[in-house]
Amino acid sequence: MPQITFIGAGSMVFATKIVGDILSFDELSDSTIVLMDIDEHRLDQTARVAEAIVENEGLDATVESTTDRLDALEDADYVLNMINVGGTEPFENEIRIPERYGVKQAIGDTIGPGGIFRGLRTIPTMLDIAGDMEEVCPDALLLNYTNPMSILCQAMFEATDIETVGLCHSVPHTAEAIADYVGVPEDELEYWVAGVNHVAWFLEVTHDGESLYPELRDAGDRPETYDRDTVRFEMLDHFGYFPTESSHHMSEYVPYFRTDETTIEAMTGTDYAERMPTATYLEGWKERSEERDDPDLNVDLDEVSAERSEEYASRLIHSLETDTPRRFNLNVSNETNAIESLPADACVEVPVLADGTGIHPCSVGELPKSIRTFPQQHTAVYQLVVEGALENDRAKVHRAVKQDPLTAAQLTLPEIHEMTEELLAANEPYLPRLE
């Protein structure tokens, strides 16, 4: 009967999805689920849905909720992190200030000024969580869902003794998309994926032992399919591999697509209307935030159930608890040299084998030369951000922003410096002390 603690459980839709995933396994159906958030209203909403799942399914699971993080972590076996630090104000700053300088971010949660400053404001809280875990559940596994994934996981690897893995649904979502584009059942795909979070690549994708890349390229040549995933088909055409992040995400990770409105509009495509423009995620997040603050739950509690989604968390916990072998793509330390073309202290997203003995990253060797520099450049930025946060080094934060691909494509070095100073001043209450 493992204890599984959710930190940031006020994210009701996502948290209750994972609760349902976990409880869908018979072997985990008597787990203790502990929900923690600093927002009592949102925490109560999540708890009501989780309790309804248990009741509707007739399970022996226990659901507890608290606003006290240390109490929530006491004796935890697994800790799922899904926090958002700071709320709307710093998020607005991270998107709108760069936008005024000409840096037009669609999402801003991974790299770019938005991802860098989101990481800076989240790292201190992550370290606080790790400190609490070291006190009351030092052997627990931390499963991180919060972005920027690579920055936060790398900070945990470098500054704490807590075993940490990062979980992201980009790979299964991309596999689903590829299967659709080439007309093959998703469960019949075989694939080998590696890189860094949100900038990983399908190195191989096969069906019945045959590569699907010829069919995928043919699909990209059809306008009706190309328009559904413009940026990714462009990356495939020019660099030879299909990336794991959706087109509106991928557009801001490279310097090619977001430096003028004409290109942004051309890359929007039929399925990405209203998604490629600047601040897509910010505006959507604000709308969802208002919905979550609604005093009415707007969920039919009689209908909720323990249904399993594509998310990895429940399957990973089940593998570890029951010694059931599975392979996932997880974000882990590169200390085993899983990707030879990235530093040993990098956070990498690679195939990982999990069973009762633990989590074991697979070796993928060198990344292909045509795509190697993308994760290398992102890793260099991530390392500067983490060092800046842990060493209180303002200069390293500046250097991180100056090496961001999209920012560097749009602004001069003095302009980047000025923008970064404005961001540092605007978000100072949420950041580490930087000197």
Q: What is the pLDDT of residues 203-232, one digit of tens each?
A: 999 999 999 999 999 999 999 999 999 999
At 268 the pLDDT is 74
358-401: pLDDT as tens digits = 999 999 999 999 999 999 999 999 999 999 999 999 999 999 99
Residues 6+ apart with CB under 8 A from 49: 12, 16, 19, 297, 299, 301, 304
Query: What is the SS3 assignment for 22?
Result: helix
At 269 the pLDDT is 65
153-196: pLDDT as tens digits = 999 999 999 999 999 999 999 999 999 999 999 999 999 999 99
Omega before 148 cis (within 30°)? yes
Please, what are the domains in the chain? Answer: 3-87+110-166 (3.40.50.720), 88-109+167-278+311-435 (3.90.110.10)
Position of tokens 């699971």?
Answer: 61
Nearest to 404 by CA among 380, 432, 427, 422: 380
Among the listed residues 169, 173, 360, 417, the single catalytic one is 169
Confidence of residue 298 (pLDDT cuts 50, 70, 90): confident
Predicted structure pTM score:
0.96
184-208: pLDDT as tens digits = 999 999 999 999 999 999 999 999 9
At 373 the pLDDT is 97
What DSSP element (H or E) covers 361?
strand 358-361
The radius of gyration computed from the CA coordinates of the chain, to the nearest angstrom, equals 21
Phi-psi region of 159 (alpha: psi -120 to 50; beta: other; left: phi over 0): alpha
User: From the CB of residue 102, how many other CB atoms can be counted at a distance below 10 Å?
Assistant: 15
Q: Report the share of the chain in percent with pLDDT over 90.
A: 89
At 271 the pLDDT is 59
Average pLDDT, whole number, for the chain?
A: 95
In this prediction, residues 407-416 reach a mean pLDDT of 98
Residues 6+ apart with CB under 8 A from 31: 1, 2, 3, 4, 22, 23, 61, 62
At 275 the pLDDT is 58
Residues 6+ apart with CB under 8 A from 122: 83, 85, 146, 148, 152
**Is the pLDDT reported for residue 292 higher than 80?**
no
227-260: pLDDT as tens digits = 999 999 999 999 999 999 999 899 999 999 999 8
Nearest to 83 by CA among 97, 70, 69: 69
Residue 198 annotated to the active site: no
Nearest to 215 by CA among 242, 245, 246: 242
304-342: pLDDT as tens digits = 999 999 999 999 999 999 999 999 999 999 999 999 999
Confidence of residue 267 (pLDDT cuts 50, 70, 90): confident
**Is the pLDDT reported for residue 286 higher than 80?**
yes
